[in-house]
Chain A
Amino acid sequence: MVMRYAAVFLVSLCCFLACTKPADMHTGSSEHSSPNQVVIGFSQMNHINPWRVAETNDLKRVAQARGYTLLVLDADSSIEKQTKDVQALIEAGADYIVCTPYTYEGYGEIAQMCKDAQIPLILLDRETSGVPGVDYLTFIGSDFRAEGVMAAEYLARITNGKAKIVEIHGNIGASCTTGRSEAFSETIAREPEMEIVAFGYADYERIAGQKVMEEIILSYGTDFNAVYAHNDDMAVGAIQALKSAGMKPGLDVVLVSVDGSKDGFRSIIAGELAASVECTPKLGTILFDTIESHQRSENIPSRIIIEDRLFDASNAEELFHEGF
């Protein structure tokens, strides 16, 4: 126990000394009396949108409730830093490494590090290359392809299959970006009068979403009637850009996004965002269930997929409290 706290202190000190952001590491429940002595090292890619903030907070909430020690490091959207973070978490004595990979490729080193240290690696909310169950313990998250399909089908229904679509991607090379994009494209390909007329990458960030939309309007013009954003924040940013350009979101342009954030809900209720495909950041319960299951040496599925719903004007007010 003392060793554990010493390790926690050490990693905090390490982070304090090593990085310029001493607030990067938060311990979920180090002061909580821990019944199971299990330390979870959580390497979060960044906190640049409410989804990531909500995810981290949910993990903290469940960890504290169940008496786990949760060490959190923010990788600042850098694989390089994330690799160092995972190393620091291993050195701090983490029993499990939970990692949200920024991109699909580039995580071989982290997987190898965990394997060398014989620490199970759980990928949360995004996937990487490699074989689930071999290179890492498991993946917990949404089915991004299903999200893409759902968004496409919704858009086809609401536009009667006639849409010139602007697509705002998240960060390039992430499994969620790829899944949401590919499945969406494949689905609209079946509709002869639906096409993607412009697209950009906005890193799942509100201000970036606004900028990308502004650039598209400037370069492409306003000859589109639908926007598909890979998350709510980029959609909210895009709505601001559309308003600035004199367009009326909800009337001239139909917007569909993914997530189900509070701002997404508000936007749906305000009639600006048409719909948001759910992608919940509240993964704490299922994550710790999985860890406990692993602790009991039960068989862990190589992929744990969460069922997602669709939020639109019909259910937004009712489900507003489920937003994050």
Chain B
Amino acid sequence: MKDSNWRFSGRSSIRNRIFLLGLVVSLSVVLIMGFTYTYFIKHTIENHFKDILISLVEYNATSISNLLNNAYKNALRISNDPKFQAVLRQKLPDSYKEIYSLELEMDNQLSFVQNYVDQLFGFHIVGENGMEFKSNFSSSIDQDWQELPWYHQIVSQTEPTWFDPHDGSFTVNTIGQPLVTLGLPITDKVSGKILGVLLTDIEVKTISEIIRSGMRESGHFTLTSAHGTPIAQSQLPHNREESTFSYTIQLPIAGWELTGYYHPSIITSTITAVIKPILFLMLVLEVFVLLAAYSIAKRITAPLTKLVALMQRIQEGDFRVTMPIVGNDELDALASAFNMMVSQINQLMNSLNKEHEKLRLAEIRTLEAQINPHFLYNTLESIIWLSRKGQMEDVTNLVFSLSNLLRIGLNQGRTMITIAEEIEHIKNYLLIQQTRFPNEFSYTVEIDEAIMNSWTPKLILQPLVENAIIHGIQPSEHNEIITISARETGDNIVLVVYNTGKQINPERLDQINAMLDRGEEMNGGLGLRNVNERIKLYLGKQYGLTLKSTIKGTEATVTLPRM
């Protein structure tokens, strides 16, 4: 239970971690992008608007300067005009007829100039000699203008005088609209005396129209005179919030200053309008990313969960499990590796089981071979026969040999014995067989003393010797020889059972050797196969039994590792 809890939390943790990672990464990206984007957009747009404001201030300042310059240059031209100089220099004529005639003529001259200068309200000349000229239809105000402050202000200085906005003209009847006025003294080119003044009126409306254009809700302009008096102002933004930036230009004429104020609120709302859909898009993207993170987390953890479940079944001993492979990604590679591993384990287990079974069978067969009832019967027959003959010495030896044979063969159930024991066993066996088949064979045993204590699977030699007796010696008419030798070659021990007598048919021999080599079943030769099989099972495939047979005799060679 505890184990499964841990695994459950681990599983959930991977999914949560992937999901959390997706959440954190995507949220950070969205937030960082959102903030950076907002910051840069705001910055860029604001700078852009400030640039626009600056260029508009410059443009408007130029327009206003041009207007004022135009007024000034034309005024200068009129004040230096020889005709006006002459008329103003002369004495006021005696009759009104002459005065008005002259005035109307000069009015005509002035209106001619005004017709070619746009945006001026009018020119007006008042002369020291009492004459008045005007450029437009407005009628003169009947007043003693020489007593008025504006007249003194103009004639007291040689520079042009720019008057702040005032309602209505100084000199003519108007409906009271605000005007700015340029006052220029007219100096006699002959005497240097003041002949009068020239007033040039410009409607404030004209100037307002110039600065009204441009920034709309994001800015406004103010124009102030050299005395700091407001002349004109463009419409203030409705929201009237504080401006965050302003730019001032002093006009090269009249000492006026034009200032542009930047009001950021409209920009802010513009930016908001621009950014809102992007932020919304990002949010939508974020949702997609989270869904993707969730699905990826699930896709990764679902096979892992399945794998864990399969592992549990394997732990319980069920090797038939397979992980379904659906695609071609890492998880599928993992699944296929898992499947391969499971199948290999399964095969390994199967072959292990098979080998166990084989060994068990080989043991049983060995024992069967040893206590072959036929052999036991024959031996006991021999003992009976010898006893009857009264050869008690031989009986004793035979029984002793049989007893030894059984002792070593059983060997308390152990499978490995020393070479010495194996040799003793085979000697006893040979003794018994010699007693049974007297005068049929003799035997010699040549053992290297050094390997006497090495180990060998038990009862290796008995089937070989039995084989030699059955197939080599019994069919022979002669007294044959069995030689048993054991020696060391390198790391191996080689046991050889050699017998003279009948040769094994070469074809049959090749067949047997091939079968021994492959470890296959074969008909007959049960003993040989059992020996070979046991050696290979206990000690390894490279060891085992080979047979050679010539006219001279047959040789069975067993190769064992030195142990």
Contacts and interface: CB of A to CB of B under 8 A. Distances in A.
Interface of A: 17, 20-23, 26, 47, 49-50, 53-54, 56-57, 60, 72, 205-207, 233, 236, 239-240, 243, 261-263, 266-267, 269-272, 317, 321, 323-324
A17 B203 CA distance: 19
A23 B178 contact: yes
A57 B97 contact: no
B353 interface: no
Interface stretch (B76-84, B103-111, B486-494, B508-516): B103-111
A56 B177 CA distance: 12
The DSSP consensus for interface residues of chain A is helix
B205 A21 contact: yes
Contacts of B136: 206
B111 A266 contact: no
Contacts of B174: 53
B209 interface: yes
A237 to B, nearest CB: 9
Interface string B465-497: 000000000000000000000000000000000
Interface size class of B (residues with CB under 8 A): 20 to 34
Interface of B: 96-97, 100-101, 103-104, 107-108, 111, 115, 136-140, 142, 173-178, 203-205, 208-209, 212, 235
A271 B101 contact: yes
B97 A54 contact: no
A54 B173 contact: yes
A21 B177 CA distance: 10
Contacts of A50: 137-139, 173
Nearest to A250: B101
B108 A53 contact: no
B204 A323 contact: no
Given A207-B115, A262-B139, 12 more contacts: A23-B203, A23-B204, A26-B175, A50-B173, A53-B139, A53-B173, A54-B139, A240-B111, A262-B140, A269-B96, A272-B101, A324-B139
Nearest to B203: A23
A51 B111 CA distance: 18
B175 A270 contact: no
Nearest to B212: A20
Contact of B138 (A53, A243, A317): A53
A317 B205 contact: no
B103 A266 contact: yes
Contacts of A323: 139
Contact of A22 (B97, B115, B208): B208
A57 B209 CA distance: 25
B112 to A, nearest CB: 8
Closest 7 CB pairs of A and B: A270-B101, A270-B100, A266-B100, A262-B139, A23-B177, A206-B137, A269-B100
Nearest to A233: B137
A18 B274 CA distance: 30
Given A47-B175, A240-B108, A270 B139 contact: no
A49 B100 CA distance: 20
18 contacts: A20-B209, A22-B205, A23-B203, A26-B175, A50-B173, A53-B173, A53-B174, A54-B173, A239-B104, A261-B139, A263-B104, A263-B107, A263-B137, A266-B100, A269-B100, A270-B100, A270-B101, A324-B139
B122 to A, nearest CB: 12
A164 to B, nearest CB: 25
B115 A53 contact: no
Contacts of B97: 269-271
A26 B176 CA distance: 8
A270 B212 CA distance: 45
Contacts of A54: 139, 173
A298 B418 CA distance: 160
Nearest to A44: B175
Contacts of A21: 205
Contacts of A243: 108
B529 to A, nearest CB: 119
A57 B235 CA distance: 28
Nearest to B173: A53
A57 B177 CA distance: 12
Nearest to B179: A23
Contacts of A22: 205, 208
B350 to A, nearest CB: 98
A263 B208 contact: no
Contact of A266 (B104, B177, B209): B104
Contacts of A47: 175
A31 to B, nearest CB: 13
A20 B212 CA distance: 9
Contacts of B204: 23
A126 to B, nearest CB: 18
Contacts of B137: 49-50, 205-206, 233, 236, 263
Pick the most buried of A20, A56, A60, A269: most chain B CB atoms within 10 A of its CB: A269
Nearest to A263: B139
Nearest to A20: B209
Nearest to A240: B108
A272 B104 contact: yes
B391 to A, nearest CB: 153
A50 B97 CA distance: 22
A243 B138 CA distance: 21
B473 to A, nearest CB: 139
A20 B211 CA distance: 12
Contacts of B108: 240, 243
Contacts of B177: 23
Nearest to B101: A270
Nearest to A205: B137
B208 A57 contact: no
Contacts of B178: 23
Pick the most buried of A60, A205, A243, A270: most chain B CB atoms within 10 A of its CB: A270
A267 B100 contact: yes
A26 B115 CA distance: 28
A206 B175 CA distance: 18
A49 B101 CA distance: 21
B145 to A, nearest CB: 16
B104 A53 contact: no
A243 B212 CA distance: 41
A205 B111 CA distance: 13
A72 to B, nearest CB: 8
B140 to A, nearest CB: 7
A83 B541 CA distance: 121
A257 to B, nearest CB: 13
B203 to A, nearest CB: 8
A267 B104 contact: yes
A57 B138 CA distance: 13
Contacts of B212: 20
Contacts of A53: 138-139, 173-175
A57 B173 contact: yes
Contacts of A57: 173, 175-176
Pick the most buried of B108, B139, B174, B209: most chain A CB atoms within 10 A of its CB: B139
B289 to A, nearest CB: 49
Contacts of B139: 50, 53-54, 261-263, 323-324
B214 to A, nearest CB: 14
A262 B174 CA distance: 14
A217 B377 CA distance: 171
Contacts of B203: 23
A56 B175 contact: yes
B295 to A, nearest CB: 58
